[in-house]
Amino acid sequence: MNASPPSRAQQIPVIVLAGFLGSGKTTLLNHLLRHRAGNRIGVIVNDFGSIEIDAMTVSGQVGSTVSLGGGCLCCAVDASELDTYLETLTRPSARLDVIVIEASGLAEPQELVRMLLASDNPHILYGGLVEVVDAAEFGATRRRHPEIDRHLAVADLVVLNKTDRAGDGEQARIREAVAATGSAAAVVPATYGRVDPELLFDPALRPDGEEKARQLTFEDLYLEERARETGEEHAEHLHTAYESVDFTSDVPMDPRRLMEFLDSRPGGLYRIKGYVDFGAGDADHAYGVHAVGRFLRFAPRPWARREQRLTRLVLIGSGIDAQALRKELEGCRTPGEPGRETAQDAAHERSMWGVLRYVHRPGDDDA
C-alpha cells in the first residue's frame, strides 16, 4: 500500500482475543481481517503445542503475522519474548494500525493483560481483553473449565458466539452467569464471530488522497464478491449489536465530577474516546480520554491555535441507556460560568490532571 507510516507519537492499540478451545476465536479474527475498516492489522497467534494449527487457519491478508508456538505465552517467565515481537510490529516500517494477540485456548488472559500493561514499549496502548464464549456449549465448557468464571470477570468485552445454536433462554442464563462473576463487561451476541470491528478499533483515517491510487486489498475484493452474491451493497449490518453515544459540550468539564462518572460508569459501557476541556483547571491543554473496559487513561496535549475548545466524547457499549449517559455527562460540566473557580481550585485540578494517569477499578489486581 502507498501509505505513510504512523507518526512516532501514535500508539497502536493491542487487543487480546481470548476464549476456550472451540469458542470461535480464529473465526472472529478472520472476520476482523476481512472487515478491518481500512486498518492494517498485525497478528500474534499464540498456539498451544508445537503444531501451530491456528496460525495456519488465519487469513494471510494482514500486515505482519507472528506465531508464538511451543507453549502458552502467559506461562513465560517474563514478557521479553512478547516485547520482542511487539517491537517488530510497532516499527514505522510495519505501518500497522492495530495489533491482535489471539491467545491460546488454555491461556490465562489476565496474565497477558498484565504483560501488556508492564511493557516498556512506548508505541503500544492496551486495547482491551475480548473473551469469546461458545453460547451453545457454555454449560459443558463451564463444567470442564470452572476457571471460565475468572476469565469472564476480568474481560472488557464478552462476545457471545454461536447464538444461532442457543435459544433466548440459554443466552439469558449466560448473561446472568457473566453478571454473577461481578463483571461489568459489555456482552455482544454474534454468529460465526461476526462483530462490528468498530467495537474494537476505529476506522483508519488517512490523509486526503493518500490511497486514491492503490491495489485492491483482500477486503475490497471480499466485499465486492459478497455484494455480487447477495445483491446488497452492505452484506452485513453488524452495528445493531451495540450502541454509540456522542456527547459535545462547549462548557468546560469539572474534573471531580467527571472522575466520579468514569469510576462508576455502568456495565455494558465498553469504550470511551475523545477529548475533554477542563477550562481554567488547565487552560493550556485538551485531555485525550481512552477507556476500554475497566481501564482508563488521560493524556494531555496543547490546544492548537484557534482550535475551538470543546469536550467531544464517544461512548460505545451494549445495553446502555444513551439518554441517561448524556444526562450524567451534562451533570459533569463546571457549574456556573466558565473560569469562575478559585485559584486554589484551579491549582488542585492542575495537580490532578497535569500528568498522564491510569485508573484501575478495585479488584483489577485480584488473581
Name which residue leads in pLDDT, 51 or 175. Answer: 175
pLDDT at position 165 is 95
Look at residue 328 and give its three-state secondary structure: helix
State pTM to two decimals.
Answer: 0.78
328-357, pLDDT tens digit by residue?
A: 999 999 987 444 343 444 444 444 443 333
Decide: 313 and 328 in contact? Cβ < 8 Å.
no
Eight-state DSSP code of residue 299 = E
Amino acid at 107: A
163-222, pLDDT tens digit by residue?
A: 999 999 999 999 999 999 999 899 999 999 999 998 898 887 544 444 443 444 444 444
Place of cell 433462554: 169
Contacts of residues 47-51 at CB distance under 8 Å and 24 or more positions apart, as own/partner, are 47/104, 48/72, 48/104, 48/105, 48/106, 48/107
Render 192-236 in DSSP notation, one character per residue.
Answer: TT---GGGTSPPP---TTTTSS-PPPHHHHHHHHHHHHHS-SSS-
Render 114-149 in DSSP notation, one character per residue.
Answer: HHHHH---TTEEEEEEEEEEEGGGHHHHHHH-TTHH
pLDDT at position 349 is 46
Q: Which of 366, 87, 330, 316 is nearest to 203 (CA)?
A: 316
Task: pLDDT band for 36, please (50, 70, 90 cuts).
Answer: confident
Task: pLDDT band for 359, please (50, 70, 90 cuts).
Answer: very low
pLDDT at position 139 is 94
Look at residue 71 and give its three-state secondary structure: coil
316-332, pLDDT tens digit by residue?
A: 999 899 999 999 999 99
217-240, pLDDT tens digit by residue?
A: 444 444 455 555 544 444 344 556
